[in-house]
Amino acid sequence: MVSLEEVKEVAENARIDIDDSTAEEFVEEFEDILSIFDKLDSINTEDAKPAFHPIDVSPKLREDKREDTLSSEETFYNTDNSEDGFFKGPSA
């Protein structure tokens, strides 16, 4: 059973100002939430396989293919800010 004092303590820890009537409403809501957790605790998961994610999130990746790259001349064609084969940026 959740007490009014526990709800006020949770609100205080969360830096939320609530009055007594609002706190009383939360007592019932907290009890509902905790009853759901009790139901979850009662489920037998002994034979369940561990799951890291409930949905299959296998990455959809393309096959790596080697492609021709730009020559140094083509790479630095539109810039005056290069030095020794690297782009040159402003000093930090």
Question: Nearest to residue 29, comparing CAs of 6, 47, 50?
Answer: 6
Q: Are 18 and 26 spatial neighbours (Cβ–Cβ below 8 Å)?
A: yes
pLDDT at residue 85, rounded to an integer: 87
Q: List pLDDT tens digits, range 17-55.
A: 999 999 999 999 999 999 999 999 999 988 888 777 777
pLDDT at residue 72, rounded to an integer: 87
pLDDT at residue 12, rounded to an integer: 95
pLDDT at residue 54, rounded to an integer: 73
Dihedral sign for Cα 61, 62, 67, 69, please: negative
pTM: 0.48
Q: List pLDDT tens digits, range 71-83.
A: 988 988 998 888 8
Cα(21)–Cα(18) distance, rounded to whole angstroms?
Answer: 8
- Beta bridge partners of residue 82, listed in sequence order: 87
